[in-house]
Amino acid sequence: MFSAPRLEIETTLKDFLQRVSLDLAEISPELSPVSAEITRFLTTGKRFRPLFAYAGYLAGGGQNDGTSLKNMLKAATSLELLQACALIHDDLMDGSDMRRGAPAVHRYFENYHLENSMRGDKVQFGLSAAILLGDFALIWADQLINESGLSDEQLRRLLPLNDLMRVELIAGQYLDVRESAATTASVERALKVARYKSGKYTIERPLHFGALIAGTSPETISSLTQFGIPLGEAFQLRDDLLGVFGDPEATGKPAGDDLREGKRTVLTALAIENFSASQLQSFNAHFGDLNISAEHITELRNLITEAGAPEKVEALIEDLTATALQALKSEHISEKAKPYLNELALMATKRKI
């Protein structure tokens, strides 16, 4: 169903990264690690965001072929660069070691510093380089939109939404940082983090992104929100489960990574709400310990399971997904888009990675 748009997205991304690599090489050959790492980082990915933009474009009445579609997909590929910025900075803030089965970007540059016998502190070098590479990705996202071939009218409709999406994303990142430092857990606060840090820029705003390029009505935008908000929260709740119980071979991150990083997610908030005093003491003894052992990860997983939190999160995912799918009955969403939206909903919530 998505083979043709996915191929266009992959081709656009490959061609664009080759060009920016040449641009960096003209500035200095010492920028080659930067272009190599962003190319490696973006080689894999589920491409959910541009695919949701594609479905939003169809939902808003866009044609499923021709130059207009090609230009829309080129602009939508910018969402992969926006995500790269978010993930690179997120891994840095969380102190993550791995992403997609390889060293996180800041760890890559630490290793680069070490392997090249450079002076100074390798950790500071890695942090600095990762911040700058994330900044590059954000700039390149705008560059790709500007080069997409969209008309002036399409850009006037799209750019305010693009700005809002980035504000929401960074606001969500801050709320996530703050929640990890909070002295109490809250399901309500964790849900807000899930909505703004991930859900909105993964699903709702990409849907709007495509629909606005198509030139849709306010009613269609509203219907896509009713679909996108609950589905985006379900998407992040699935991430919460995978961050604790996911298979490292599938997720590309160490087992129980969210436990190591002390992530205050809906999953952990629900568990904490149901812990006894002794369970809470045992949980807090190791939650957020960057040097946590495999045995203690297992212990924390067992505590979360005993509290019934995974089942509650699964039930939330089911309810939120059902709410999203109910929204697809709207007459303001083009019928040709509904099979695509339905399939993406299942891909986003039933995944193992």
Q: What is the number of other CB atoms lying within 10 angstroms of the CB of residue 139?
A: 13
Burial of 116 (0-12, 13-18, 19+ CB in 10 A): exposed
Per-residue pLDDT at 163: 98
Per-residue pLDDT at 100: 85
Domain 3-349: CATH architecture, name and number where available: Orthogonal Bundle (1.10)
- pLDDT average per 10 residues of sequence, the chain (353 residues): 96 98 98 97 95 98 95 98 97 91 96 97 98 98 98 98 97 94 93 94 98 97 98 96 92 89 95 96 95 95 98 98 98 97 96 86
Per-residue pLDDT at 128: 98
3-state per-residue secondary structure call for the chain: CCHHHHHHHHHHHHHHHHHHHHHHHHHCHHHHHHHHHHHHHCCCCCCHHHHHHHHHHHHCCCCCCHHHHHHHHHHHCHHHHHHHHHHHHHHHHHCCCEECCEECHHHHHHHHHHHCCCCCCHHHHHHHHHHHHHHHHHHHHHHHHHCCCCCHHHHHHHHHHHHHHHHHHHHHHHHHHHHHHCCCCCHHHHHHHHHHHHHHHHHHHHHHHHHHHHCCCHHHHHHHHHHHHHHHHHHHHHHHHHHHHCCHHHHCCCCCHHHHHCCCCHHHHHHHHHCCHHHHHHHHHHCCCCCCCHHHHHHHHHHHHHCCHHHHHHHHHHHHHHHHHHHCCCCCCCHHHHHHHHHHHHHHHCCCC
Burial of 152 (0-12, 13-18, 19+ CB in 10 A): exposed
Per-residue pLDDT at 101: 86
Nearest C-alpha neighbor of 208 from the set 72, 56, 338: 56
Check if the beta carbon of residue 268 is closer than 8 Å to that of residue 187: no
Domain locations along the chain: 3-349
